Chain A
Amino acid sequence: MSHFVELLVNGLSLGCIDALIALGFVVVFKATRVVNFAYGSLLLLGAYVVGRYHDRIGFGPAVILAVAVTAGMAALIGVVLLRRVRLADHGTLAILTLGLDIVLATELTRRIGTDLLTTGDPWGAEVVTIGSVHIPQTRIAAAIVAVTVVGAFLAALKFTDWGVALRASAERPATATLMGIRLSRVAAGAWVLAGTLAAVAGLFFTAFPSPGVGGTVGQVALGAAVPAAVLGGLDSTTGALVGGLLVGVTATFAAGYQDQLAFLGRGFGGVAPYVVMLLVLLARPSGLFGSREVTRV
């Protein structure tokens, strides 16, 4: 039983990180209808900046720098590159982000080289024990930060002008322009936000118990974000949160019970979120909270 509780708690804390990642993925899709495959590399970029500079400027400033650099890069992708080809269809733009992802990930992998970059976070490898449940400190910090960030995001979405504009233009872009809402500004805001979320998530994604910042981090993160976002419904922020938690818990349980699940082969933990995603999509083709396509005849 204690094993189960420990897995659940760890799963939920991992799920918080996954939810952050999925949220950044969803917010761009919501605002622009572009599936942003470059998101994994943005996350790697954030983790890389923290890993490279925390020695020199300290952990706190490194995080701030990482957020600035990643948000800047996201804005650059969103505003400069994608705007130029705004009239292209969304599938084309998704492929373009896939290309950008490869370029960015290759360059970052080259820069990391053979170094093993650690995030240098103050929580280190400490493990807190409550009763018989062991949780790494970083995961507790991740959960607290994630809840704070997500709470702030949801409040902004609900109460600020930007939030109202984002939700309005996500639902009916053409009508939103009739209110004087500038879609390009709303989209730019979404990209900056996605970059910020990527940097924060990247930090926790590469902190203990993960081994550190490596070139594959981006793909691994995207591998968590895609099922989380899709099963939640690509255009729903609530869906991203629920999806993230579900993916975190599923992956943790599949890994924790892998001895019992040995007949499915090694590494089922990586596949399990996709199995859940497929099952959800079979029952609800637009995800748990996604808006359904409606066509008028």
Chain B
Amino acid sequence: MSQTSATRAAPAEPAIPTSGEPLLRVRDLHVSYAGALRALRGVSVDVPPGGVVAVLGANGAGKSTLLRAISGTLRFSGGRVVDGSVDFDGVRLDVMDPAAVVRSGVVQVPEGRQVFEDLTVDENLRAGGLAGPPRARRAARDRVLELFPLLRERAHSRAGLLSGGEQQMLAIARALMATPRVLLLDEPSLGLAPRMVERVADVIGEIHRSGTAVVLVEQNAAMALRLAGTAYVLEVGRVALHGPAARLAGRDEVRERYLGVGRGPAPQTAPGPARAERAPGSREGAPETLVAEGLSVRFGGVAALSEVSLTVAPGSVHALIGPNGAGKSTCLNVLTGIYRATAGGARYGDVELSGLRPHQIARLGIGRTFQNLALSASATVADNLLLGRHRLSRAGFLTAGLRTPGARRERAAQERRVAEIADLLELREVLGRVVAGLPYGVRKRVELARALCAEPTLLLLDEPVAGMTTEESTRLAATVARIRADLGISILLVEHDMAFVMGIADEVTVLDFGRRIARGSPAEVQRDPDVIRAYLGATGEAVP
């Protein structure tokens, strides 16, 4: 990788002319999951021979779905192509099984690396080459090891023992063993340290120069726009923008999408006149101050969080933002006792949180939602919400089973409170519906309602608008503001959608690669050059 500096400086003009017929052509693709949710609604993407195409967009925009549709692996997540086509060099990929797609020359590196941890590095590479003829494998292996000299040294160690960055290298190397003509990369920089992200970028440059076309799905827009010739920005299953990458990087719309610059503040609701009446058993108490100091978490050799400090004042909305892999969810998982901090600690009021189990932390009045939704899919919304109140119910197994008058009164009171919370989140009409059949955006609101049902005084929200449409996310911003006003609780919000938090947060902490890079009011953070760089890369600096 001697040309490292050259790769970084050049604004990635494709080495091979991109004119003429595209090699891979996605036409008007519609994909749905479980027959209901439309994940892609008419997406068209062209990949020129040897070109690098970046696909950007927020969580849930449909980026990974697009790659799955191309590689034929949709069915593993319950999805299918409803309409449209994927053509590669004159053959239809969308009617093939995944193995046939690989054999035709289109190979995907899955999100999250997914190396075979129990196999050695060598065996991983071998698995990658299984699709090809045996005699071609040796040559492929030599080529791949030349690109990744490190893997030669580690050939006989178990892949599970490699670091995150090394595993990403192995995942790419494994895919190259099939000698693809188009390489699909799903979030290769996810969760990697900055140095490793540079290495990955270099490797993609090398692959590109060797004449292989690359489709790069990334949330790290800075890296993707630097490498790509053309870029597509997906938003809720549609192509919102596309064009030459260098031009997109300077566009206001891209800046707005990634930084929330120029978007008006969300409606601020004035504090409600009176707090909603509380149900029996609800925790009497005002929110306390949450103080985290010097939180550090390491997974093996990877520092997921390094000395992060933040303070959530009682009754305030604090946003924790940063690109994917910045350590936001890790931070939340430490605060709720799911992960142990390697160093540092947190206090809620006078109570030291480190060392407490998750249920003990919940009992202190700290509630949370999960990014991947932790709802019971086969139960109704009402039952899910009642389950959220479990912590507050006094009736035991026996009294509830015997339906004693006391237990029945309590149940009625709980149901009243559930109805109130459902009203607050506009869920009244769906209370009787089974969760599984609800649209994703509604399920996200149910998840939020479930957390509120435990009557927390501090609510931790993990990416509440990921995968929502713009309207849904605007509505949710108003709802969060209302929750704060009506219930008077503190909220710590983890988001990578910067636009969403701008209107509702009192204070913002920005993480990148596990470190705090900025803190302050939303307006201050928005102007911070470090933050702009983290979200848009160096290209963002040129524009005032």
8 A Cβ contacts from A159-188 to B: 161, 164-165, 167-168, 171-182
Set of chain B residues within 8 Å of A296, measured between Cβ atoms: 372
- By the criterion CB–CB under 8 Å, are A179 and B128 in contact? yes
- By the criterion CB–CB under 8 Å, are A172 and B114 in contact? yes
Q: Is A297 an interface residue (CB 8 A)?
A: yes
Interface size class of A (residues with CB under 8 A): 20 to 34
- By the criterion CB–CB under 8 Å, are B71 and A178 in contact? yes
- By the criterion CB–CB under 8 Å, are A174 and B73 in contact? yes
8 A Cβ contacts from B124-148 to A: 124, 126-128, 130-132, 134
- By the criterion CB–CB under 8 Å, are A181 and B130 in contact? yes
CA distance A175 to B170 in the complex (A): 13
Set of chain A residues within 8 Å of B79, measured between Cβ atoms: none
Q: Is B414 an interface residue (CB 8 A)?
A: no
Residue of B with least CB distance to A174 = B76
Contact of A178 among B103, B107, B370 (CB under 8 A): B107
Q: Interface residues of B, CB < 8 Å — how many?
A: 34
Set of chain B residues within 8 Å of A179, measured between Cβ atoms: 102, 127-128, 130-131, 174, 178
Knowing A167-B119, A180-B99, A297-B338 are in contact, say whether A174-B110 is a contact too (CB < 8 A).
Answer: yes
Q: Is B85 an interface residue (CB 8 A)?
A: no
- By the criterion CB–CB under 8 Å, are B116 and A180 in contact? no
- By the criterion CB–CB under 8 Å, are B98 and A167 in contact? no
- By the criterion CB–CB under 8 Å, are B127 and A181 in contact? yes
- By the criterion CB–CB under 8 Å, are B117 and A171 in contact? yes
Contact of B370 among A167, A172, A173, A297 (CB under 8 A): A297
Set of chain A residues within 8 Å of B338, measured between Cβ atoms: 297
8 A Cβ contacts from B320-361 to A: 333, 338
- By the criterion CB–CB under 8 Å, are A164 and B123 in contact? yes
CA distance A174 to B114 in the complex (A): 9
CA distance A262 to B298 in the complex (A): 55
Set of chain A residues within 8 Å of B541, measured between Cβ atoms: none
B27 CB → nearest A CB, Å:
23
- By the criterion CB–CB under 8 Å, are A181 and B110 in contact? no
- By the criterion CB–CB under 8 Å, are B99 and A171 in contact? no
Set of chain B residues within 8 Å of A174, measured between Cβ atoms: 73, 76, 110, 114
CA distance A165 to B107 in the complex (A): 17
Q: Is B108 an interface residue (CB 8 A)?
A: yes
Q: Is B524 an interface residue (CB 8 A)?
A: no
Residue of A with least CB distance to B77 = A174
- By the criterion CB–CB under 8 Å, are A297 and B98 in contact? no
Q: Is B118 an interface residue (CB 8 A)?
A: yes
Set of chain A residues within 8 Å of B118, measured between Cβ atoms: 167, 171, 291
- By the criterion CB–CB under 8 Å, are B333 and A180 in contact? no
CA distance A171 to B110 in the complex (A): 14
- By the criterion CB–CB under 8 Å, are A177 and B99 in contact? yes
- By the criterion CB–CB under 8 Å, are A168 and B116 in contact? yes
- By the criterion CB–CB under 8 Å, are A178 and B73 in contact? yes
- By the criterion CB–CB under 8 Å, are B114 and A175 in contact? yes
A174 CB → nearest B CB, Å:
4
CA distance A171 to B333 in the complex (A): 26
Contact of A164 among B114, B130, B178 (CB under 8 A): B130
Residue of A with least CB distance to B333 = A297
CA distance A270 to B130 in the complex (A): 45
CA distance A168 to B117 in the complex (A): 9
A282 CB → nearest B CB, Å:
22
Set of chain B residues within 8 Å of A175, measured between Cβ atoms: 110, 114, 116
Residue of A with least CB distance to B117 = A171
Set of chain A residues within 8 Å of B123, measured between Cβ atoms: 164, 167-168
Set of chain A residues within 8 Å of B126, measured between Cβ atoms: 161, 164
CA distance A250 to B338 in the complex (A): 40
8 A Cβ contacts from A28-54 to B: none
8 A Cβ contacts from A254-297 to B: 291, 296-297
Knowing A178-B73, A297-B370 are in contact, say whether A168-B110 is a contact too (CB < 8 A).
Answer: no
Residue of A with least CB distance to B104 = A180
- By the criterion CB–CB under 8 Å, are A180 and B119 in contact? no
CA distance A178 to B76 in the complex (A): 11
Set of chain B residues within 8 Å of A180, measured between Cβ atoms: 98-99, 102-103, 130-132, 178
A88 CB → nearest B CB, Å:
14
CA distance A175 to B124 in the complex (A): 11
CA distance A171 to B114 in the complex (A): 10
Q: Mask for B68-102, Cβ within 8 A of A = 1, else 0?
A: 00011100100000000000000000000111001
Contact of B130 among A161, A171, A172 (CB under 8 A): A161
- By the criterion CB–CB under 8 Å, are B99 and A168 in contact? no
A170 CB → nearest B CB, Å:
8
- By the criterion CB–CB under 8 Å, are A178 and B116 in contact? no
CA distance A291 to B127 in the complex (A): 20
CA distance A179 to B103 in the complex (A): 9
Set of chain A residues within 8 Å of B107, measured between Cβ atoms: 178
A152 CB → nearest B CB, Å:
19
A32 CB → nearest B CB, Å:
15
CA distance A57 to B206 in the complex (A): 64
CA distance A181 to B130 in the complex (A): 7
- By the criterion CB–CB under 8 Å, are B76 and A165 in contact? no
Set of chain A residues within 8 Å of B76, measured between Cβ atoms: 173-174, 177
- By the criterion CB–CB under 8 Å, are B117 and A178 in contact? no
CA distance A297 to B114 in the complex (A): 17
B341 CB → nearest A CB, Å:
15
Contact of A168 among B73, B108, B127, B132 (CB under 8 A): B127
Contact of B119 among A164, A173, A177 (CB under 8 A): A164
Knowing A171-B117, A171-B119 are in contact, say whether A165-B127 is a contact too (CB < 8 A).
Answer: yes
B140 CB → nearest A CB, Å:
12
Residue of A with least CB distance to B131 = A180
CA distance A164 to B120 in the complex (A): 10
Knowing A178-B73, A179-B131, A297-B333 are in contact, say whether A171-B98 is a contact too (CB < 8 A).
Answer: no
8 A Cβ contacts from A85-138 to B: none
A129 CB → nearest B CB, Å:
44
- By the criterion CB–CB under 8 Å, are A182 and B99 in contact? yes
Contact of A176 among B72, B97, B127 (CB under 8 A): B127
Set of chain B residues within 8 Å of A164, measured between Cβ atoms: 119, 123, 126-127, 130
Contact of B116 among A161, A171, A182 (CB under 8 A): A171
- By the criterion CB–CB under 8 Å, are B130 and A165 in contact? yes
Set of chain A residues within 8 Å of B132, measured between Cβ atoms: 180
CA distance A296 to B370 in the complex (A): 11
From A178, A181, A182, A296, residue with most partner B Cβ within 10 Å: A178
- By the criterion CB–CB under 8 Å, are A177 and B110 in contact? no
25 A-B pairs in the complex with CB atoms less than 8 angstroms apart = A161-B134, A164-B119, A164-B126, A164-B130, A167-B119, A168-B127, A171-B118, A174-B73, A174-B114, A177-B73, A177-B99, A178-B71, A178-B98, A178-B108, A179-B127, A179-B128, A179-B131, A179-B174, A179-B178, A180-B130, A180-B132, A181-B131, A291-B118, A297-B333, A297-B338
Chain B residues proximal to chain A, CB less than 8 Å: 71-73, 76, 97-99, 102-103, 107-110, 114, 116-119, 123-124, 126-128, 130-132, 134, 174-175, 178, 333, 338, 370, 372
7 nearest interchain CB pairs? A180-B131, A180-B102, A177-B98, A174-B76, A175-B114, A168-B127, A180-B99
Known: A164-B123, A172-B116, A180-B103. 5 other contacts (CB 8 A): A161-B126, A164-B119, A167-B119, A180-B102, A181-B131
